[in-house]
Structure 1
Amino acid sequence: MDIAMELIESMLVKFRSEKKWTLQALEQCNPEDITWSPTVESNSIANLVAHISGAVHSRIETILLDIPDTRDREREFERGLEMTKEQAITMTRDAFDILIQYLERLQSNPELLMAQPFLNLPPLTYSQVNNETTALNLMIAMVREVHYHTGQIIYAAKIRKGKLVWQ
């Protein structure tokens, strides 16, 4: 297996695992756990789910599905952001499915790892990547971003529940 395929497969394993653990944590939450935050300046699970979904939308859906970027990043971090448990689960599942779908596309076309998918799109906003970034750099950034925030979601769920049950 060449390095491109190994990288793509590693990222697929990572995102599939993150999806599983994050959904299991969310499923154990009560509706009020989704909007709870430990301090007035901390993000709730709802904020974190909205942020992951927004990042996936602006960075992946725009290139995978040719959907214009309509992200409202400021709203993702609004204090008191309302979201039901079902919405959180659906948004999380959808975001991971889009990431996995994009990686599967790259798996079928590993040469696209070095492509610059944003090159001819409007300038990116609120992003750690720019229009000249490669698909490889984009996915490395997404691994870091998603892992960071799913860890926060799981930690918040543990604080609320005391203990989570894993399958």
Structure 2
Amino acid sequence: MSIGETYLKVVLERFTRVKADGDKTIAQLNNEQLHWAFNEDSNSIAVIVKHVSGNMISRWTDFLTTDGEKATRNRDDEFNVSIDSKEAILATWEKGWQVFLDVLQGLTEQDLLRSVMIRGQQHTVIDAIERQMAHYASHVGQIVYIGKQIKGDEWKTLSIPRGQSRAFTETMLKAHQK
């Protein structure tokens, strides 16, 4: 496998993991919790979902041929709560990820050094992917943090539970020695 093919495989796995953390967090929350915000200047999970999805749809629709900031996108509106149900939040979340992951899966090694535009600025495809990795991971981290704060003691961890790192590592090492 070439370095480009390896890169595309790895970033697809990483983005899939980022999405899974968001999925698992959203699954633990009810509609009211998805709309909770710390204060007026803070975003709820519903708002973050709307923003991330809007970004994905704008950036990744016709990714290789048009500017990633589409004229049809109203970024400022993404920060207004207008998704009223958990089902609608999930549909918005899935729509953005579907657009993005479909494009990512369709990229080839030859695409990686091609140029794309984002807000009139030229980027390589690699740079555009890495830019979005930081952006999406940051927002999913916010979603997880908000969910964890809301759920408190009822939070179901998304990774290795506290105090179980050593046991987890030993299990992993044994599994890979076979």
Residue pairs, 1:11-160, within 5 angstroms: 11-63=11-63, 69-78=71-80, 80-106=81-107, 109-118=108-117, 124-125=118-119, 130-160=120-150
Moved more, 143-152 or 69-78: 69-78
Task: Tell me the CA shift for residue 156 of structure 1.
Answer: 0.9
Q: Quote the Cα distance in structure 1 between the aligned partners of 2:65 and 2:89.
A: 22
Specify the alignment match of 2:7 in structure 1. Answer: 7
Give the number of aligned pairs. Answer: 155
User: Runs of 5+ in structure 1 lacking a partner?
Assistant: 119-123
**Residue pair 2:61, 2:99 contacting (<8 A) in 1 also:** yes
Which string of whole-angstrom CA distances, capped at 9 and with x for unpartnered residues, describes residues 100-152 of structure 1?
A: 2112111xx2111111233xxxxx54xxxx44212111110111000000010
Question: Could you say if the C-alpha distance between residues 18 and 65 of structure 1 is closer, same or farther in structure 2, counting changes exceeding 3 Å?
Answer: farther
TM-score of the superposition, structure 2-length normalised?
0.78
Cα distance between partner residues in 1 of 2:106 and 2:86: 30
TM-score by length of 1: 0.82
Contact 1:27 1:89 in 2 (8 A): no
What secondary structure, in the 3-state scheme, does the structure 2 residue paired with 1:114 have? coil
Q: CA deviation at 1:83?
A: 3.3
RMSD over aligned CA atoms reads 2.2
- Do the aligned partners of residues 65 and 114 (structure 1) sit closer, same or farther apart at CA in structure 2, a change above 3 Å counting? closer
Structure having the higher strand fraction is 2
SS in 2 for 1:39: coil
Letter in structure 1 aligned against 2:73: R
Matched residues in 2 for 1:64 and 1:30: separation? 38
Point out where structure 2 has 5 or more consecutive residues left out of the alignment.
159-178
